[in-house]
Amino acid sequence: MNPPEAHPVDVTRPGAPAGAESAAAQEVLRRVFGYDSFRGDQAEIVEHVISGGDALVLMPTGGGKSLCYQVPALVRPGVGVVVSPLIALMQDQVDALSALGVRAGFLNSTQFPDERRTVEAQFLAGELDLLYLAPERLRLESTAALLDRGKVALFAIDEAHCVSQWGHDFRPDYLGLSMLHERWPDVPRIALTATATEKTRDEIIERLDLGGARRFVASFDRPNIQYRIEPKNRADRQLLEFIRAEHPGAAGIVYCLSRNSVEKTAAFLNENGISAVPYHAGLDNRTRAANQARFLREDGLVVVATIAFGMGIDKPDVRFVAHLDLPKSVEGYYQETGRAGRDGQPSTAWMVYGLNDVVQQRRLIDSSEGDAAHRRQLQLHLDAMLALCETVTCRRTQLLAYFGQTGQSCGNCDSCLTPPESWDGTVAAQKMLSAVLRLKRERGQSFGAGHIVDILLGKQNPKVLQYDHHELKVFGIGTDLRDTEWRGVVRQLLAQGLLAVHGDYGVLTLTEASQEVLFDGRQVRLRREPERAAKPARSAKSSKAAAAADLAAADVPLFEKLREWRGATAKEQGVPAYVVFHDATLREIATRKPASLAQLGAIGGIGENKLAKYGEQVLEVLAGG
């Protein structure tokens, strides 16, 4: 499994020629990983770390962070030590590297002592290129002493935002990582994260003592992800239609807020012929781990999950991420949707949201622990998320702006593809707000949105009659809009801060800004509610087509044959399908139809090791064998 020569050029040796870093890095990229060229900042980062510099790398999910430390680890003498909190995924990472012929191992608490001793011995004997370590192991003096006795090429600190106490992924053990610099001042460190906000960045630099590190900040745009946000009516039905129309047979992640809705949604999908597994904190560890493993290994499984799922999942071919409930913040939304399309292939971030989401999130904030300042912070997060939902301009531009980056209208979000109309909602807003005001005046108590809409529509239902609300001046003044449209008005007024919602029953109240609309002639612009959910912006695709996107129709059968071969091979070896080959590699094979091992080796993602291991078999599949 080991390549004959893992370190082609020791460029850190005195007397190595200038520019040798990049030549050696290129060679490793081509020979081991099977790629022709580095992407974006990768080349510069790799060169910087090879020559011994510290680096802080901010790159979106799928941007290619792993190569930034894997290539230097292979070029520099010694073992690259990777600190990662994701112990459940270490085995897969090691498997993926082994498939490339890279010698990798890990140390974490899930191992038996004798397994651990084997890895330690390999490390000391210089038989590893990469060693994955759980952060808590570094706190043990025995681990530090082990590292002292071997040769460390570099430290990579993956998911570096875990050091941030404000982020949702805080790991106390990460605070101890400042010791790396004190104890091994000559070993270069590279910290990597996909969390973009400035505050997190500053915390990483301070807590990991990376003040002198070079910073590499990539664009956070994910051009292959299509962003869509639609009004929610029946979330499960809408989800089913979406999957059937656009991503049948593809792997996807569906996020729900509660465990209960996770279970229900997974069951609903299964009943309707879409294989799905649930994932939430209420399941026992075994079931959870098993469901995660199935998701990683099987082609085309859907996982329905609470946000507890997904960090570090590096399955490259997740074709869609769906939100059935509103995320709490734009950061969360970005992280979660970012799990789609790491392989750079077309993918969809799809969400439905409605008035109840706003009410529910508001309630969570009201009942949250912590002081007023903390609640205020949560409210600001929610406001930014609502603004993204209600925007009439490009979603991507707004998303990037949130992270301090600029962009142009993208042509690949619902706002760009089917520009929403806006309308003058001033009169509608006045009607709604005066109804809220009147109920407050006349009763000394307040009512939820549904009741107020009924009044505006002039519905003589029992509750209206019970409170004599059919006698109000505002009764029946809103028949020009439909029920769903009124709910849209309420939702947008909430998003714009022109209404507020409180308490367990979603009671509506006026804000200071409401007064401006009611009495000072302030204009209100609203986004028009579509008659029904917007049509899929990309044309509906045939089954499995998502994975086959961009293939000529004539090549699809061959691609499917290659996928079948890959599935069988992966199963035989007990590894995820993508460890054998990525979709993008299979697609290129199906298109170029290489006739020899040499031609096959020129395809992206096929390095020496994979060529030797699978080359003949792939050529047989191509020959129709």
Report the interface residues with ligand ADP, using CB under 6 A.
35, 38-39, 42, 59, 61-67, 314, 316, 342-343, 582, 604
Residue 13, judged by CB atoms within 10 A of its CB (0-12, 13-18, 19+), counts as: exposed
- The amino acid that residue 518 corresponds to is L
What, of Zn ion, ligand ADP, none, does residue 282 touch, CB below 5 to 8 Å by kind? none
Please state the closest distance from residue 189 (CB atom) to ligand ADP, in A: 17
> How would you class 185 by CB atoms within 10 Å of its CB: exposed for 0-12, middle for 13-18, buried for 19 or more?
exposed
Query: What is the rounded radius of gyration, in angstroms, for the C-alpha atoms of the chain?
Result: 27
Given the complex with ligand ADP, which of 38 and 216 has the nearer CB atom? Answer: 38
CB of 60 to ligand ADP, least distance (A): 7
Task: Give the phi and the psi of residue 133 in degrees, each rounded to 5.
Answer: -130, 135
In terms of Cα–Cα distance, which of 331, 336, 356, 358 is closest to 347?
336
Q: Which helix (H) or strand (E) holds 507?
A: strand 507-510
CA distances to 179, 290, 306, 379, 494 from 285, rounded to whole Å, are 32, 8, 15, 33, 40
Say if CB 309 and CB 253 are below 8 A apart.
Answer: yes
- Residue ranges with strand state E in 207-262: 214-217, 225-231, 251-255
Residues 6+ apart with CB under 8 A from 44: 216
- For residue 53, the partner it binds in Zn ion, ligand ADP, none, with Cβ less than 5 to 8 A by kind, is none
Minimum Å gap between C-beta 541 and ligand ADP is: 22
* Residues in 384-403 at the binding interface with Zn ion, rule: CB under 5 A: 394, 396
Contact between 413 and Zn ion per CB under 5 A: yes
Of residues 49 and 400, the one with the C-beta less far from Zn ion: 400
**Closer to ligand ADP by Cβ: residue 84 or 265:** 84
342 vs 395 by CB, closer to Zn ion: 395
Which of ligand ADP, Zn ion, none does 601 bind, CB closer than 5 to 8 A by kind?
A: none
CA 430, 431, 434, 440: dihedral to nearest 10 degrees? -140
Length of the chain: 625
Q: Token digits for 617?
A: 């078999």
Single residue of 416, 524, 551, 590 touching Zn ion by CB under 5 A: 416
Cβ 212 to ligand ADP shortest distance, Å = 24
- Residue 42 binding target from ligand ADP, Zn ion, none, CB below 5 to 8 Å by type: ligand ADP
Q: How far is the CB of 411 from Zn ion (least distance, A)?
A: 6
Phi and psi at residue 69, to the nearest 5°: -110, -25
Identity of the residue, 416 or 584, whose beta carbon is nearer to Zn ion in the bound complex: 416
In the chain, what is the greatest distance between 2 CA atoms, to the nearest angstrom?
Answer: 93
- Of 379 and 409, CB closest to Zn ion: 409
- Site map (CB under 5 A) of Zn ion, residues 341-380, x = contact: ----------------------------------------
- 535 contact, one of Zn ion, ligand ADP, none, CB 5-8 Å limit per kind: none
Pick from 29, 36, 101: nearest CA to 66 = 29
Measured at the alpha carbon of residue 572, what is the angle toward residues 566 and 576, in degrees to the nearest 5? 55
The least distance separating ligand ADP from the CB of residue 384, rounded to whole angstroms, comes to 24
Q: What whole-number distance in Å separates Cα of residue 335 and Cα of residue 216?
A: 19
Q: What is the dihedral of CA 620, 621, 622, 625, to 10 degrees?
A: 60
413 binds, among Zn ion, ligand ADP, none (CB under 5 to 8 A by kind): Zn ion
Q: Using CB distances below 5 to 8 A depending on partner kind, what does residue 65 bind out of ligand ADP, Zn ion, none? A: ligand ADP
Please, what is the minimum distance in Å from the beta carbon of residue 218 to ligand ADP?
A: 9
Considering CB distances under 5 to 8 angstroms, the limit depending on partner class, which of ligand ADP, Zn ion, none binds residue 342?
ligand ADP
CB closer to ligand ADP out of 42 and 492:
42
Which is closer to ligand ADP, CB of 59 or CB of 266?
A: 59
As measured in angstroms, the least distance from the Cβ of 414 to Zn ion is 8
Q: Which residues contact 426 (CB under 8 A, 6 or more apart)?
A: 517, 522, 523, 524
Of 536 and 605, nearer to Zn ion (C-beta) is 536
> Can you tell me the distance from the alpha carbon of 328 to that of 160, in angstroms, rounded to the nearest whole number?
22
Give the separation between CA 366 and CA 380, rounded to whole angstroms: 13
Taking the least distance from each CB to ligand ADP, the nearer of 58 and 180 is: 58
Q: How many other β-carbons are positioned within 10 Å of the β-carbon of residue 297?
A: 19
Residue with tokens 């509906």: 540
Using the minimum distance from each CB to Zn ion, give the nearer residue, 161 or 396.
396
Q: What is the DSSP string of 407-431?
A: ----SSBHHHHSPPPEEE-HHHHHH
- Can you tell me which of 71, 162, 276, 410 binds Zn ion, judged by CB under 5 A? 410
Select from ligand ADP, Zn ion, none the partner in contact with residue 396, using the beta carbon and a kind-dependent cut-off of 5 to 8 Å.
Zn ion
Closest to Zn ion by CB, 408 or 461: 408
Given Zn ion, ligand ADP, none, residue 410, with its beta carbon under 5 to 8 Å by kind, binds: Zn ion
- Among Zn ion, ligand ADP, none, the one that 481 touches (CB under a kind-dependent 5 to 8 A) is none
Q: Pick one of ligand ADP, Zn ion, none as the site partner of residue 416 (Cβ within 5 to 8 A by kind).
A: Zn ion
Q: Compare residues 345 and 397 and give the one whose CB is closer to ligand ADP.
A: 345
Q: How far is the CB of 123 from ligand ADP (least distance, A)?
A: 23
Q: Does 490 bind Zn ion (CB under 5 A)?
A: no
In whole angstroms, how close is the CB of 409 to Zn ion at the nearest point? 5
Cβ proximity to Zn ion, 78 vs 346, nearer residue: 346
Q: What angle do CA 268, 269, 275 make, to 5 degrees?
A: 140
137 binds, among Zn ion, ligand ADP, none (CB under 5 to 8 A by kind): none
User: Is residue 365 a contact partner of residue 382, using CB atoms and an 8 Å limit?
Assistant: yes
| Helices and strands counted in the chain (H then E) | 28, 17
* Binding-site partner at residue 62 among Zn ion, ligand ADP, none, CB < 5 to 8 Å by type: ligand ADP
DSSP 275: -
Q: How far is the CB of 273 from ligand ADP (least distance, A)?
A: 30
Name the one residue in this structure whose structure tokens are 């459940």.
88
Q: Contact between 46 and Zn ion (CB under 5 A)?
A: no
Minimum Å gap between C-beta 412 and Zn ion is: 6
What is the contact surface with Zn ion in residues (CB under 5 A)?
394, 396, 410, 413, 416
